[in-house]
Amino acid sequence: MARPSQCIFVRSSVLLAVLALFTLRITALEEGACERPHPPPTPTPTMCSKAFIGKPAPDFSADAVVDSDFKTVKLSDYKGKYVILFFYPLDFTFVCPTEIIAFSERAHEFEKIGAQLLACSTDSKFSHLAWIQQPRKQGGLGEMKIPVLADTNHQISRDYGVLIEEAGIAFRGLFIIDPKGVLRQITINDLPVGRSVDETLRLVQAFQYTDKHGEVCPANWQPGKATIKPGVKESQEYFEGANH
């Protein structure tokens, strides 16, 4: 059995070794910092999200550009409809106009199924309007068929958990909210990659089908394709047909 003095000696030795390694590490980092530039900080989303699947979507009210005019838009304005709220980082950028234009040009397809598209960034309504007035050949948005919200105080982005606090911009978050105001789907992309209008439309159609019929939609489901009756015995009809 080790004596108390021996235990103290071992612990002291370990502590000294750890401190020595820590000192060497700090020194190496400081020396390296002088030789190479600092890497850009990794953006981190806010940790104050109030957006959860199956829970009421955070309500909001914001200035927006609607039909080239300034209006106030509230989530409650669209009660009884599906709402697709999608965030983008910044006006006058590169991936963003491709997404917003793609959604805007197919707004009529969402309207036909009782769904409303809303775009949102932390830019001001004046920035939005200037970007809308810029021709598409110059990177502008041109005519918009969907509202573009101005989250200038960052509250909407923060509530939905997409705000990059240190940069004051939002990740590419997309939220599908049902007619009862409940969040049904959340996706958040990193900044470099845009989203799919086709997939967004498919998801809304799938949720609408399950809401109406009570059956569930398998992978890659499209309107008119087979669905599954949620039950051990009932589901066999689908599996037998899909795996013949």
- By annotation, the residues acting in catalysis are 96
Residue 206 Cα to chain centre, angstroms: 19
Rounded Cα–Cα distance for residues 44 and 202 (Å): 29
Closest alpha carbon to 134 in 68, 211, 46? 68
What is the four-CA torsion angle of 47, 99, 169, 118, rounded to 10 degrees?
-70
The helix (run of H) or strand (run of E) holding residue 153 is: none
| Contact by Cβ (8 Å): 185, 170 | no
Give buried/exposed letters for 73-91 (b at 16+ CB in 10 A, else e): bebeebeebbbbbbbbbbb
**Numbers of helices and strands, H then E, in the chain:** 7, 9
Using CA atoms, how far apart are residues 99 and 86, in angstroms rounded to an integer? 10
CA 233 – CA 91 distance, rounded (Å): 52
